[in-house]
Structure 1
Amino acid sequence: MQVLFWNERTQQLGDGARVFDPLALTWRDDAPEHDGKAVTASEALLRLAATRKLRRVPIGIIGPRDATQAQYDLAEQMGAALARHGLQLLCGGKNGVMEAACKGHAQEGGMPVGLLPDEEWHAANPYVAIPIATGIGPARNAIIARACLVLVAIGGGVGTLSEMALGLQFNRLVLAMADAPEVNTVERVADVDGVIARIAARLLANA
C-alpha cells in the first residue's frame, strides 16, 4: 500500500522515493529532502489544492432534473466538497441534481462548468459559472462522460444510466450514490467523504 507524505516547507507530496507533479498528475523519481507528515489521499488532495497548482481535470456529477430533496441536498454537499478539494465540477448545467451540485460548488468558491444540451447559454441554471451551449441535445452526455476523470451519479433514470454506461466504456471511474441506477461494475459509495477518497486515490494512482 502506498504511503503518502506532505512536506510543508516545500509544499510537495511524496511517497518516500518520488514526488507528485500536481500539473502533470504523475509521479516523478525525485526523492524529497525528507518525508514530511504522513497524510491520507484525501488530505493530500486538500494540501495540493491549497497550492493552486493542481491540474483541474473535470469531475462529473450526474443525476435527474427532477431531483428529490434528498438528492438535491446530497448533490449540493458533493459539489461543495469538490470545490474545497480543488476539483473542477463539470455537469449538464440544468436543474435538479445539476443545479444543486453547481450551487454547492459555487458557494465554496468553485467555478462550475455546465455543458448544456441547449443552443444558448441562457438555459443554464443560475449557479453555472461557465455555461457551454452545445446545441446537440442528449448527445452532450457522451462529452461529459469522456471529459471527466470520475463520474458521480446521484439518483437518476435512463439519462443518468446512459452517462454511467458511457463512462464505463471510456474507462472512467464511475461511482453511485443514494438511489442511482444499479450497474454491476459501478461502485456504490455511502457518503461524500467516501467519494472524495476514491477521487483522490484515482488522481494519485500513477504509482
Structure 2
Amino acid sequence: MTITQDTRILEDGSLCFGGHRITPAAWQRQPAPATPGRSVSLTEAFAALAQQASLRHLVVAVIGPRAATPAQEQAAEAVGRALGSYGITLICGGKTGVMAAASKGCQAAGGLMIGILPGTDPAEANPFVSIALPTGLSEGRNMVIARAARVLVAIGGSYGTLSEVAYGLHFDKPVITLEDAPQIDGVRPARTVAEAVDLTLAALLDQARSPDHV
C-alpha cells in the first residue's frame, strides 16, 4: 500500500500533512498556509513532532499470537522499537510471542508498553511490559485492547488475533497487517516492517481532529 499524502515541515518548524498543519499536543489539524516547506518522510515527521510535544496520548496496539514464528517476533520487535522511539504509547496482551517481542523493542527504544492481561495477576506480564493491567476478563480483554487503541498492528495470526482484528474493524479503527496476519476485508496489508510503520503513522495523522470537532 502506497502513502501518497504530502508531508512537509514548514519554515516555522510545524508539520504539514495532506494540506493541514498538525498540532501535536492537542492532535488537531488546521489548513496549512501556502508557504514552502521541506518534504520529509513520515518517520522524519514523527521525529519532529516528538521534539515539539509528548505523543503519549497516541495509543497503538501491537497484536499477535503467543506461538509466534521467529520472523513474526523479529517484525514485532522492530515495530515496537520504531513506534516506541517516537514516544507513542503501545499496548498489547502482555504475554509471550509477538506481545513480548513488541514489548522488548518498545522498552529498548525508551517507550511505554502497557500490557492488558487476561488474568488477575500482574506477574503474568512479560518482563518488558512497562505497566501491567490485569483485567480478569480472559479473552474479553481483546475487546479492551481494540477499543483503547487508535490503530492496531497485527503481526501473525491466531484465533485470538483474529478476534482483535475483528473488534478493531468493528470499532472503525485502522488495522495494519504483517507477517501472515488475518487478511479480511478492511485491513491494510503491509509487506515490510517499514511499510507497516508508515501505514500506522499515516493513520494516526489522518485522525488529527479539526479545532471545531467536539
The one-letter code matched in structure 2 to 1:175 is I
CA distance in 2, matches of 1:93, 1:171: 23
The one-letter code matched in structure 2 to 1:57 is L
Report the TM-score, using the length of structure 2 for normalisation: 0.87
Q: 2:187: which partner in 1?
A: 186
1:64-79 map, 5 Å: 64-79=65-80
CA distance in 2, matches of 1:88, 1:79: 10
Deviates more, 1:35-44 or 1:61-70: 35-44
- Count of residues paired in the alignment: 205
CA change 1:7–1:75 in 2 (3 A) is: same
- Which string of whole-angstrom CA distances, capped at 9 and with x for unpartnered residues, describes residues 7-60 of structure 1? 46x43213697521112222124638x533222333211211233333532111
SS in 1 for 2:72: helix
- Contact 1:23/1:55, CA 8 A, preserved across alignment: no
Q: 1:4: which partner in 2?
A: 7
CA change 1:15–1:75 in 2 (3 A) is: closer
Identity %: 40
- Contact 2:87/2:112, CA 8 A, preserved across alignment: no
1:1-207 map, 5 Å: 2-7=5-10, 10-14=12-16, 18-29=20-31, 31=33, 34-205=35-206, 206=208
> Tell me, which stretches of 5 or more residues in structure 1 are unaligned?
none
CA distance in 1, matches of 2:18, 2:138: 48
- Which string of whole-angstrom CA distances, capped at 9 and with x for unpartnered residues, describes residues 144-181 of structure 1? 00111111111121110000000000000011111112
CA change 1:178–1:89 in 2 (3 A) is: same
SS in 1 for 2:153: strand
> Tell me, which stretches of 5 or more residues in structure 2 are unaligned?
none
CA change 1:16–1:74 in 2 (3 A) is: closer
Deviates more, 1:50-59 or 1:172-181: 50-59
- Which string of whole-angstrom CA distances, capped at 9 and with x for unpartnered residues, describes residues 116-168 of structure 1? 11102111000001111111111010010011111111112111000000000
SS in 1 for 2:36: coil
CA change 1:17–1:77 in 2 (3 A) is: closer
Report the TM-score, using the length of structure 1 for normalisation: 0.90
Alignment RMSD: 2.1
SS in 2 for 1:90: strand
CA distance in 2, matches of 1:116, 1:78: 20
